A and B are shown apart, each in its own frame.
Chain A
């Protein structure tokens, strides 16, 4: 049997896990000296409290998981004779996957017949969410792991995500976005526009003045790069600013019609620790990223 794994950095919640039969790896974040595992240490993510804590000045950190932690997730599956398909967040944003590879290599020595497949969504939050759901639907429809992996090879580069952040101190600290000017634009309404490139890395490609223009620019990318947009989900992710996300949803519907399949997600706390509050991103199907 093939077991489908994803992780909390993909914005997947227990609700989708139940719906699609997904098993979830909880990616930890640290507040002060307390390590918190999403959906293990809490049942419902209270996004408002979390992001308000960030607004008040707390800066959580994140760290890679240990080899042992991966073994604890995967070994019981191999022991039970299952194969694993893991659709995960971008290896371009974390070194946790190097550790995972080591864990899998060890397990393979021990369970040579078992198979481990992985799909790198080359994304985070809304992007990963979109790809995970596409894969999960195929999984639910009985597609094989090979078929899903083949699909991903062609399709993952066709799911871009463009987003803006509000307070750059979070990104600046983690240093995970390239091309970011060292300005204090957040205080004066200047937002950098960032996207995830083909290597799953975050790159700043410009800036916009004012929220309205920033949202318009995101939607403009959907119009210019989009391909079969309406045949797929459009996922709007936000870090505790539903009213701003809603402006983006309204503008998308204005451009693509009311029947556009738009889904809204809340950026998970682990990724939220890097992008901070009041960010909005749009993931859609496109010609390229």
Chain B
């Protein structure tokens, strides 16, 4: 077998592709590494979609550094779920470590991997051992950089496997569920794939599209002879700075970035060597292209009408879009949240959300999804309610990247907390901090109970049987019954509904309306003083969402 002592741009790009191929093969196994007996595991999907977002933005670059940087930028925007966000930060660290490197020897690559470890730990406020970061760190620490890169990978993969097998010893929840950490498993899978490419074993198999988000063909009829250009064009290009036009040594690309920010939105731009990569939303791509030509010439250009993009990505209910740029003075508050289910999305709009990103437990939105939502809102302060712990990091990553408004990611961990919290926002309150504090306090007072179907047996406060309806709150299993309404009634008892004043009920897409109405009538009989507000949520996964206020 040919040994590699120098890693160049071409090999690295092939490695990333093969990493995605390998992960695509194993993603269902990784999804199933779920500590919770509810169908909410999507680590494999999240990591794969994140990695693919990096791979698909790869162009042919001469320098390894630019390839790493481009992949990292793509992953940063495409990151979904906490595992996806951490993965994007690992590759961001790697790119940072490879800055300026044209071709990496083992030592340079090992140093960059160390930078990846540092960056990954920085990405998490309170790093928990026994997860993806442990697998990465122990792999990198044990990897032997004294020989060629193949040897480095072999030793790293061995250590990663040992580390992964050891994760249940570090995290009790893994041990209880009898699984290893899913993020760690995903990471190992990716690096195995990268090693395959390193050994010349690239597979020709297509990168199979993942289930979510579905990518239907663009419907050109969405923009017809009478349409109004509301959202402008998503414009991306690579610009080669030309010696005949600018002084390459002293040219500051900030000039370009400042210009783009003045005339467009959602600007992402960076320079590597003499290439400037640009992503911008604008009504007049031609004007920008003309302006850019004073600095250089184009290597690639991609321009897409965003009316088509939006209609492609969003259901009719969520295509509640505001124009890209508005000359109106911004409102004080904008609200972005995440929900799935037609009814829930509608309910969130009614209670005042400006943008409801379609997604949830099993379909985590990406950082880019958040950025797009921010760009559609003309507000000074945007409050983001992720409604899920696994969506929070992508929201926070988007908050760091977005510059046109102050983004506040609210600590809403459930749909119930988000809905209740949004109901409390006082849009007339000029004191943002005070408003946020009182909304946060109200959200903390809420308890959310969920009814779903168990995907396997489990021990806990109650014995959970595969196929039964289970009622739970947080990670606590509280009721189990083959009869859905019984699981629901019992759950409400366990959550001490009698001590509450208000209970919001959202019934899911698999629940007939009559069943929900009967359940509410029965609950009302049992809890005379409780005000029960029934809403049609039509959400997947959760047959009932109870919000006890």
Stretch of B151-159, B366-374, B529-537 with 4 or more beta carbons under 8 angstroms from chain A: B529-537
CB–CB A183/B426 < 8 A: yes
CB–CB A184/B549 < 8 A: no
Q: Taking the nearest CB of chain B, how far is it from the CB of A244, in angstroms?
A: 10
CB–CB A209/B501 < 8 A: yes
Q: Is B320 an interface residue (CB 8 A)?
A: no
**In the complex, number of A-B residue pairs with CB atoms less than 8 Å apart:** 61
Q: Is A182 an interface residue (CB 8 A)?
A: yes
CB–CB B531/A181 < 8 A: no
Q: Is B284 an interface residue (CB 8 A)?
A: no
CB–CB B531/A212 < 8 A: yes
> Which chain B residues have a beta carbon within 8 Å of chain A's beta carbons?
347, 350-352, 419-420, 422-429, 500-502, 504, 528-531, 533, 549
> Contact flags (1/0) for A173-197 with B, using CB distance below 8 Å?
0000000011111011110000000
Q: Is A210 an interface residue (CB 8 A)?
A: yes
CB–CB B502/A189 < 8 A: yes
Separation of A182 and B335 alpha carbons in the complex (Å):
14
Separation of A181 and B530 alpha carbons in the complex (Å):
24
CB–CB A184/B422 < 8 A: yes
Known A-B contacts A184-B352, A187-B533; A210 and B502 likewise in contact (beta carbons under 8 Å): yes
Known A-B contacts A210-B530, A210-B531; A189 and B501 likewise in contact (beta carbons under 8 Å): yes
Question: Which 8 pairs between the two chains have the least Cβ-Cβ distance?
Answer: A210-B501, A189-B502, A188-B423, A182-B428, A212-B529, A182-B427, A210-B531, A181-B426
CB–CB B424/A210 < 8 A: no
**Which residues in B have their C-beta under 8 angstroms from that of A233?**
none
Q: Which of B500, B531, B533 has the most CB of A within 10 A?
A: B531
Q: Is A211 an interface residue (CB 8 A)?
A: yes
**Which residues in B have their C-beta under 8 angstroms from that of A106?**
none
**Which residues in B have their C-beta under 8 angstroms from that of A181?**
426, 428-429
Contact for A188 among B429, B529, B549, CB less than 8 A: B549
Q: Taking the nearest CB of chain B, how far is it from the CB of A279, in angstroms?
A: 15
Known A-B contacts A181-B428, A210-B502, A213-B501; A189 and B422 likewise in contact (beta carbons under 8 Å): no
Contact for A189 among B347, B425, B531, CB less than 8 A: B531
Separation of A189 and B420 alpha carbons in the complex (Å):
10
Known A-B contacts A209-B502, A210-B501; A185 and B533 likewise in contact (beta carbons under 8 Å): no
**Which residues in A have their C-beta under 8 angstroms from that of B425?**
183-184
Separation of A42 and B364 alpha carbons in the complex (Å):
56
Separation of A212 and B351 alpha carbons in the complex (Å):
22
Contact for B423 among A187, A211, A213, CB less than 8 A: A187
Q: Taking the nearest CB of chain A, how far is it from the CB of B493, in angstroms?
A: 19
Q: Taking the nearest CB of chain A, how far is it from the CB of B393, in angstroms?
A: 27
21 contacts between A and B (CB under 8 A): A181-B428, A182-B428, A183-B424, A184-B352, A184-B422, A184-B425, A187-B347, A187-B350, A187-B351, A187-B533, A188-B351, A188-B419, A188-B502, A188-B549, A189-B501, A189-B531, A190-B423, A212-B501, A212-B528, A212-B530, A213-B501
Q: Taking the nearest CB of chain A, how far is it from the CB of B371, in angstroms?
A: 26
Q: Taking the nearest CB of chain B, how far is it from the CB of A164, in angstroms?
A: 12
**Which residues in B have their C-beta under 8 angstroms from that of A187?**
347, 350-351, 419, 423, 533
Contact for A211 among B352, B429, B504, B531, CB less than 8 A: B531
Q: Taking the nearest CB of chain A, how far is it from the CB of B492, in angstroms?
A: 15
Separation of A182 and B422 alpha carbons in the complex (Å):
11
Separation of A211 and B529 alpha carbons in the complex (Å):
8
Separation of A209 and B351 alpha carbons in the complex (Å):
17
Known A-B contacts A184-B352, A187-B350, A189-B501; A209 and B423 likewise in contact (beta carbons under 8 Å): no
CB-contacts of A192-216 with B (<8 A): 209-213
Q: Taking the nearest CB of chain A, how far is it from the CB of B14, in angstroms?
A: 53
CB–CB A183/B423 < 8 A: yes
Known: A182-B427, A212-B501. 5 other contacts (CB 8 A): A185-B423, A187-B423, A189-B531, A211-B531, A212-B531
**Which residues in A have their C-beta under 8 angstroms from that of B426?**
181-183
